[in-house]
Amino acid sequence: MTDSLTIRRPDDWHLHLRDGAMLRAVLPETARHFARAIIMPNLVPPVVTTAQAAAYHDRILAALPTGMDFRPLMTLYLTEETDPDDVAAGHASGLIKAVKLYPAGATTNSASGVQDFDKVRGVLERMAEIGLPLCVHGEVTEAEIDIFDREAVFIERVLDPIRRMTPGLRVVMEHITTSDGVDYVKASDDGLAATITTHHLVINRNHILVGGIKPHYYCLPVAKREDHRRALLAAATSGDARFFLGTDSAPHTDAGKESACGCAGCFTATNTMSLLAEIFEREDALDRLEGFASRHGPAFYGMPVNADTITLTKGAPVDYPAKIDTGDGPVTVFDPGFPLHWRVT
């Protein structure tokens, strides 16, 4: 029986750090284990320009506790007014690593997102030219589309047309939740990849709804039925380099989640590596964890793998806090409902 695993230090290819007091509270939870992360730009107001991303980058570094080593990889929030020259300049300077597409109204803080995809054609063409990836929140927003179908419909109605219209555009389907997402990635060429979150490997929709509504399992895209979770698990543990970790760790205060209109997002930064080791071990795929968490992401983004390593060891159940304190109120740490035996040492 394996009880120790050393892997290259992991990166998180989809992370929400927020700002201010929340940023200061959640950043160490990620930086403790992860070397780099793609930082999502859905602040209020959103991070739209390279100048705003540079300022946010500096606020993140200023919030990093002394002695911690972490590099934020910055993104721009795509709007119908985004200037292709600003995007290209940000990319050329080395600061901007991706542009994020939120369909308007699809998720937390997405009001400034795209409504008319024709209006962003110029930016997407420029990104294809310079090799800057587009990260996509892949859900349609039409009221008549069932929320459990919104990812599959997005692939057909929005994503596939965008990719056909913009040959060469590199795309990451963020936080996929369906076998439709897995199949679409597998059927495509190497300009397409997908991130998979920790929580979507653990929960299906029953976790949210059976035995009373569980707001801390509510996120977007919403978890689907068990067949879809199994498809995600198979993709994550397959060794296929087109699938990699993006935790989508998305802190909201308990007051924001435990409400008549609760916020979407699961906070998994604290226990993600323990969780992933537990899940990969159950699938007899511990040897594939390094690919998923540490190698496939850098390969897609054209960056080197981290030089340092982390070691996970198996033992008595890991103690992690049920909540972390933030200046804005407590944030509940994702509870998988089973003990975790792997700790990062």
Ligand X SMILES: NC(=O)N[C@@H](CC(=O)O)C(=O)O
| Contacting positions for ligand X (CB under 6 A) | 16, 42, 107-108, 137, 219-220, 248, 250, 264-265
Assess 137 for contact with Zn ion (CB under 5 A): yes
**Do the annotations mark residue 42 as ligand-binding?**
yes
Assess 75 for contact with Zn ion (CB under 5 A): no
Degrees, nearest 5: CA angle 216-193-250: 20
**Do the annotations mark residue 224 as ligand-binding?**
no
Q: Residue 267 or residue 301: which is nearer to ligand X going by CB?
A: 267
C-alpha 155/C-alpha 191 separation (Å) is: 15
Least distance from ligand X to the Cβ atom of residue 40, Å = 6
325 is an active site residue: no
Cis omega (within 30 of 0) on the bond before 330?
A: no
Residue numbers 100-119 binding Zn ion by CB under 5 A: 107
The secondary structure element, H or E, covering residue 273 is helix 272-282
Q: Which residue is nearest to Zn ion (CB)?
A: 137
Least distance from ligand X to the Cβ atom of residue 51, Å = 22
Least distance from ligand X to the Cβ atom of residue 116, Å = 20
Residue 251 corresponds to which tokens in the numbers above?
């802190």
**Do the annotations mark residue 109 as ligand-binding?**
no
**Do the annotations mark residue 18 as ligand-binding?**
yes
Does the CA dihedral 257-261-265-266 come out positive or negative? positive
Stretch that binds Zn ion, among 99-107, 162-170, 190-198, 203-211 (CB under 5 A): 99-107
CB 244 within 8 A of CB 192: no
CB 25 within 8 A of CB 61: no
- Classify 239 in phi/psi space as left (phi over 0), alpha (psi -120 to 50) or beta: left
* Residue positions annotated with a catalytic role: 248
| Contacts with Zn ion, residue ranges (CB under 5 A) | 107, 137, 248
